[in-house]
Structure 1
Amino acid sequence: MNEIGLSLDTVWMLLAAMLVFWMQPGFALCEAGFTRSKNTANILMKNFVDFMFGSLLFFFLGFGFMFGSEGAGFIGAPNWGDLSFYKGDLPVEGFLIFETVFCATSATIVSGAMAERTKFSMYLIYSAVISLFIYPIEGHWTWGGGWLCSDAADGFMMSTFGDVFHDFAGSAIVHSVGGVLALIGAMALGPRIGKYSKDGKSRAIPGHNLTMAALGVFILWLGWFGFNPGSQLAASGEVNRVAISHVFLTTNLAAAAGGVATMFLTYIKYGKPSLSLTLNGVLAGLVGITAGCDLVSPFGAVVIGLVCGLVLVYAIEFVDHVLHIDDPVGASSVHGICGILGTLMTGLLSTTNGACYGFGWGFFGAQVFGILVIDLWAAVCGFVLFYGIKKLHGLRVGKRVEEEGLDIYEHGEACYN
């Protein structure tokens, strides 16, 4: 590769990393806006912790676990000496920071579902475990050269399905894992005080600032243009230029379709178009397209966005009204359900090997198996982590702290006076 091309690719990778980092304030504003004002400082603090802890822990060990090559496909060796998984000439330090921002995103998803009643000290523990252990190991199976993405003819995936698991930018690896952990964490915590009546009916607890939440979603939408196109990791040459442009288009179309689908469904279902649900509909489309944004057509992206935007509304209702799990921001539905849907629909709508294009069901089978394995890993780890903390020390703040707000009791300051 010539020096100009390599420099361009390096700058593109780092610019994409900046955009993905910019998603962190997007998550912070979105979560804060969807929750009550008395917990805003706590929400913002947790989003800072996710990136600070994620950066350090992923640097020291997580990166090696995810991308090391001496673990027989299950877990990598935590050293920088052997990075044979990586065939390019881009600087390892740049690749590290690009992967760091993805790791922080996975941990951040969990914080919204567990908002307004979690002990900050316990949040530090589970955020660290996600960044250090849960995310890097399943990431190694897929992005780090592990068994789910091995295309060796005698490997498990090729011999079983004739294809490997595909997740271009993280519908499964980042979002569904975060969504599963969010669901289990919220279940372990229990609902907020006053969320459910004695007869089990759900009561709405409105967020304090939809303007803040809307700004957060716009920021996330922008950041996703680093999240998805940035995963190409190169911008020089005709192939990369076309690939990045295609991913930009499919990402944006799915986001728009997701928001439109949710808006019209809430208009029909509730008599008024819901802003808060439409915001989540946009995110649902973005989460859904992330796995196959490189493989599906623009029309396929619209289909994925529409399906995710429609399913989202029913998923949120099911989690809230049927399961009675209190998820203040809908993270388990947006990231969990739609991450799974997007991963599976990639197996159907891929123009190169999808079932709907006459290529058989092998690739779809690989997608089904991959998402099951990844989310089962997240579920088992989540149960051990959250119920272990609950048993040993307790996850939840006291009744008085929850009623008066975590800001003063947990941090000694408030965002609003």
Structure 2
Amino acid sequence: MNKFTIPAIGFAALAFVEPAFAQEAAEAAAEAPDPAAAVSGGTTYIFNTLLFLMGGFLVMWMAAGFAMLEAGLVRSKNVSMQCLKNIGLYSIAGIMFWVLGYNIAYGVGEGGWLSSTWGPYAMQGVGEADTGTGYSVASDWFFQMVFCATTASIVSGTVAERVKIWPFFIFTVVLTGVIYPIVVSWEWGAGALDAMGFSDFAGSTLVHSTGGWAALAGALIIGARLGRYGSDGKVNVFPGSNIPLATLGTFILWLGWFGFNGASQLAMGTIGDVSDVSKIFVNTNMAAAAGVVVAIIGTQILYKKIDVTMALNGALAGLVSITAEPLTPSVPEALFIGGIGGLIVVLAVPLLDKLKIDDVVGAIPVHLLAGIWGTLIVPLTNTEVPFMAQLTGVAAVGVFAFGASAIVWMALKYTIGVRPDEEHEMSGMDHTEVGVEAYPEFART
């Protein structure tokens, strides 16, 4: 056998084997399920409903994240107040979204600006397996409701430590019952912005910027906490009461965001849908991670030390940034989008202090500014979305949400009043408003 014999035998064998491999591959491809093929109607109904319910309870869990984040970043004398505000606002949002919100959000005519349906949502079909809808009516209501509550949570953190409880709850009634649902109707309700081609997959603008605009209006009209800004321009730092608690809150929010973005696919009845949900999970996670890393590097460069609160908000800003379009980006694009969100936090937090806008938890940079960024960058990865439609949507939501919120805050300020008197504010809201102090063994500072 010479040196050419073995290769010759190998090639000969390959000549016989290759067609067999090709035939097997062709048969496997023929047997592979079509990614667009749906399962049976009843099974699709079950899977879609399950996605809504799982996503909904994850977003509901974000209410705990907001509560823990805010409780950790306010001073010890105001912790109980923040806990009360968060459980109260979640409950108010649930009631108001049934009383008014859902019908306003989804009762607008195609291409319209204002719903003609005002009143309680009847939830027709509850308890009936109407597979024609593709999902349980009640599961859809629940999933949409928890988004509504998220908007109010954003406001709570910004105006912390100097707002009385009842004016805040009244504002929450209007925000969750009217302002937020009107904004939602313009896109998710097939209203005017949707007709223009505006796209906001899970709510960078509709949820987060709406809450951010409402928070900004409140911060400007209510004013800063006593002693926050000195007459000489000095910014007095008010350290949070519990950084581990704030960190836990951030991780809870990060976890909940998989429901926020993932379940916004709104379908799990095909292989393609499930694949998309998994991709959304990956992009959501990577954007948050990039936000953290950029915030860590940014604060190290600017301040020579790493600010842990900036790292926490960097994660949240990355999450908000990717929320407008978590499906179409590649992983490097998701890292870029989330990283810029983290950079926005690092640059915007000190800018707000220079403008003497007192945002206790940094919600305005995280939710408003990163929300705008995430919305405007959508055409980078989803070329079917026109940039002018995104810009128009951001502007329309900003004008309406800020203007309507400012009117409500002003009305409250000049009627029942919003702030406690100076003595009560200095004593702490736990002592004067709640009556139960979170840390009674500690002196009020």
Among candidates 315, 330, 346, match of residue 313 of structure 1 = 346
Return the letter of the residue paired with 1:78: W
Among candidates 315, 318, 334, match of residue 301 of structure 1 = 334
The answer to whether the Cα contact below 8 Å between 2:108 and 2:185 also exists between their aligned partners in 1 is no
Q: Residue 263 and residue 369 in structure 1: after superposition, are their counterparts in 2 closer, same or farther (change >3 A)? A: same
Give the distance between the partners of 2:106 and 2:137, measured in 1 at CA: 11
Q: Residue 298 and residue 386 in structure 1: after superposition, are their counterparts in 2 closer, same or farther (change >3 A)? A: same
User: How big is each residue's C-alpha offset from its partner over 1:29-65, in whole Å with a ceiling of 9 and x where there is no partner?
Assistant: 0011010111111000000111110111101111000
Matched length: 393
Among candidates 280, 287, 291, match of residue 247 of structure 1 = 280
Cross-structure match for 2:303: 270
1:146, distance to aligned residue in structure 2 (A): 0.7
Cross-structure match for 1:161: none
- 1:92 equivalent in alignment to 2:137: yes
Cross-structure match for 1:35: 74
Cross-structure match for 2:368: 336
Give the distance between the partners of 1:167 and 1:63, measured in 2 at CA: 18
Among candidates 398, 411, 415, match of residue 434 of structure 2 = 411
Cross-structure match for 1:9: 48
- 1:191 equivalent in alignment to 2:230: no
Among candidates 147, 155, 160, match of residue 102 of structure 1 = 147
The answer to whether the Cα contact below 8 Å between 2:292 and 2:314 also exists between their aligned partners in 1 is yes
1:69, distance to aligned residue in structure 2 (A): 4.2
* SS of structure 1 residue aligned to 2:275: helix
Q: Residue 208 and residue 2 in structure 1: after superposition, are their counterparts in 2 closer, same or farther (change >3 A)? A: same
Give the distance between the partners of 1:226 and 1:351, measured in 2 at CA: 22
Cross-structure match for 2:312: 279
Cross-structure match for 2:389: 366
The answer to whether the Cα contact below 8 Å between 1:258 and 1:308 also exists between their aligned partners in 2 is yes
For 1:80-229, what aligned pairs fall within 5 Å after superposition? 80=121, 88-150=133-195, 157=196, 164-229=197-262
1:198, distance to aligned residue in structure 2 (A): 1.3
The answer to whether the Cα contact below 8 Å between 2:110 and 2:192 also exists between their aligned partners in 1 is no
User: How big is each residue's C-alpha offset from its partner over 1:153-178, in whole Å with a ceiling of 9 and x where there is no partner?
Assistant: xxxx2xxxxxx000000000000111
1:383, distance to aligned residue in structure 2 (A): 1.4
The answer to whether the Cα contact below 8 Å between 1:285 and 1:309 also exists between their aligned partners in 2 is yes
1:262, distance to aligned residue in structure 2 (A): 0.5
Gaps of 5+ in 1: 151-156, 158-163, 355-362
For 1:36-75, what aligned pairs fall within 5 Å after superposition? 36-70=75-109, 73-75=112-114
Give the distance between the partners of 1:295 and 1:265, measured in 2 at CA: 28
Among candidates 352, 361, 380, match of residue 403 of structure 2 = 380
Cross-structure match for 2:423: 400
Return the letter of the residue paired with 1:404: S
Gaps of 5+ in 2: 1-39, 125-130, 441-445
Return the letter of the residue paired with 2:271: E
Give the distance between the partners of 2:302 and 2:133, measured in 1 at CA: 50
Instruction: Tell me the TM-score normalized by structure 1.
Output: 0.91
The answer to whether the Cα contact below 8 Å between 2:175 and 2:405 also exists between their aligned partners in 1 is no
Give the distance between the partners of 1:339 and 1:332, measured in 2 at CA: 9
The answer to whether the Cα contact below 8 Å between 1:68 and 1:82 also exists between their aligned partners in 2 is no
1:81, distance to aligned residue in structure 2 (A): 7.2
User: How big is each residue's C-alpha offset from its partner over 1:323-364, in whole Å with a ceiling of 9 and x where there is no partner?
Assistant: 1011110111110100000100112x224436xxxxxxxx11
Give the distance between the partners of 1:70 and 1:179, measured in 2 at CA: 27
User: How big is each residue's C-alpha offset from its partner over 1:346-402, in whole Å with a ceiling of 9 and x where there is no partner?
Assistant: 12x224436xxxxxxxx1111111111111111111211112211222211111111
Cross-structure match for 1:391: 414
Give the distance between the partners of 1:365 and 1:300, measured in 2 at CA: 21
Give the distance between the partners of 2:327 and 2:228, measured in 1 at CA: 41
Give the distance between the partners of 1:401 and 1:65, measured in 2 at CA: 39
Give the distance between the partners of 1:253 and 1:275, measured in 2 at CA: 19
The answer to whether the Cα contact below 8 Å between 1:63 and 1:78 also exists between their aligned partners in 2 is no
Return the letter of the residue paired with 2:217: I
Cross-structure match for 1:350: 381
Return the letter of the residue paired with 1:23: M
- 1:21 equivalent in alignment to 2:53: no
Q: Residue 194 and residue 73 in structure 1: after superposition, are their counterparts in 2 closer, same or farther (change >3 A)? A: same
Q: Residue 388 and residue 69 in structure 1: after superposition, are their counterparts in 2 closer, same or farther (change >3 A)? A: closer
User: How big is each residue's C-alpha offset from its partner over 1:212-250, in whole Å with a ceiling of 9 and x where there is no partner?
Assistant: 000000000000000000111222211101110111111
Return the letter of the residue paired with 2:239: P
Return the letter of the residue paired with 2:360: P
Give the distance between the partners of 1:82 and 1:68, measured in 2 at CA: 13
Give the distance between the partners of 1:185 and 1:236, measured in 2 at CA: 43
Return the letter of the residue paired with 2:52: M
Return the letter of the residue paired with 1:225: F
The answer to whether the Cα contact below 8 Å between 1:288 and 1:304 also exists between their aligned partners in 2 is yes
Return the letter of the residue paired with 1:259: V
* SS of structure 2 residue aligned to 1:73: coil
Give the distance between the partners of 1:292 and 1:234, measured in 2 at CA: 16
Please say which structure displays the higher CA radius of gyration. 2
Q: Residue 149 and residue 415 in structure 1: after superposition, are their counterparts in 2 closer, same or farther (change >3 A)? A: same
Root mean square deviation, CA, Å: 1.7
Q: Residue 400 and residue 81 in structure 1: after superposition, are their counterparts in 2 closer, same or farther (change >3 A)? A: closer
Give the distance between the partners of 2:339 and 2:109, measured in 1 at CA: 42
Return the letter of the residue paired with 1:397: P
1:93, distance to aligned residue in structure 2 (A): 1.1
* SS of structure 1 residue aligned to 2:83: helix
Return the letter of the residue paired with 2:388: G
